[in-house]
Amino acid sequence: MDTSRIIRLAIIDDGIRDEAIPVHDRVIINDETIDTTINNGVGKTHADICASIILAVYSNVELVDIKIIGKNGCGNVSDAVHALDWCKDNCIDVINMSLGVMDIRMGRRLSAAVDRLVKRDVIIVSSYNNMNIPTWPASNKNVYGVMANRIDYSPNNTIYKCKHISNAYVVNTIIDNGEYGEPISYANSYATPCFSAKICEIISNDGGHHNNCVVYEWIKRLPEIECDFFCNYAQYYKVGISLPVIYAESDIISNVEKEFASNGYDVLAINNNELQLYIFRGQEKGFIGFIQEVINPDILILSEKTFLAEDHFYDVMIRKGETKDKVDIMGTQYRKEQLAHVVEIIVNKGDYILE
């Protein structure tokens, strides 16, 4: 007897417009019209292509179309959180998000919504950025983060676990030149629906109960693959660093962040656990160049002293204690000037030691 059931799969994207694709429910959060010429010039939305891939891999699904992307190909975190919360309240089994953000501050907001979904046994599959750097919600430990295979040419839809990255997976996509024009097989956003469809097949064949447990057992049996292409900041190694970098002890980093933010600074503070998602040893300069060029905060605060001390990437070290009268600021003259007001803020506060 066939015990499988139809799985409700939500595609959070730029909206399904292809009338040939069966859509069970539709939620329009961002109603801006999409320019379909940006997706390989084939007159389809990104969601159209993702939905087509899902149905090609596994068709026993009810597709739910949730549109959060606007006409410029961008969305906002508030709409993404709205979409995730809608899924939580409307019996969605699997969510495909072939999108994400690279700023961990926005990622924290998405992670809060993700954690609410996990409690409902909802599965979230999300793409890493095509540069294969940490992206949210893909980097959340409760999300299945997906990258396309750029290592070999094993059969289509082959899925691997990434060595050394606990929730990352590499997929050989099913897309080639075909009707879609330009080759897009290396796009992480098109590898993601392959993974989502496979998960739908697995939990459907199991009767659709205890979704995450069933998927976990399947994950354990996947072959592993090296992910040397992950967290590669090579293009940022030669960037001239002007971003002020501060070390703050882990138990005060939050308070230091609030001090700067209250004085009008755009502050990015990353604690030890979060930093492990962003970087492998030896990539320090490229990492800071990436933060400067892509996320572009006024100040970067880190609490991983070893990382900073090895190559002296920090400008100021802040520890708890009585404030010293004089502060020796390391770094370039430009960064010394940028940090002058920072030092004044901390010295006037009187709660810390600066080195």
The reply to whether 28 and 112 lie within a common domain is: yes
The reply to whether 221 and 277 lie within a common domain is: no
How many angstroms separate the CA atoms of 343 and 68, rounded?
41
Residue 2 lies in a domain: no
The reply to whether 23 and 148 lie within a common domain is: yes
pLDDT, one tens digit per residue, over 40-98 is 556 789 999 899 989 988 999 999 999 999 988 889 999 999 999 999 999 999 999 99
If one counts the domains in the chain, the total is: 2
With residue 299 as reference, give the H or E element that holds it.
Answer: strand 299-302
Residue 53 lies in a domain: yes
How many angstroms separate the CA atoms of 70 and 336, rounded?
41
Higher pLDDT, 337 or 23: 23
Read off the pTM: 0.84
Residue 1 lies in a domain: no
The reply to whether 196 and 309 lie within a common domain is: no
CATH number of domain containing 179:
3.40.50.200
The reply to whether 42 and 188 lie within a common domain is: yes
Residue 48 lies in a domain: yes
Residue 148 lies in a domain: yes
* Ranges of H-type helices in 14-150: 46-57, 77-89, 104-118
Its domain, for residue 126, covers: 7-225
The reply to whether 15 and 76 lie within a common domain is: yes
The reply to whether 194 and 301 lie within a common domain is: no
Neighbours of 288 (CB within 10 A): 23
How many angstroms separate the CA atoms of 53 and 174, rounded?
7
The reply to whether 24 and 131 lie within a common domain is: yes
pLDDT at 176: 46
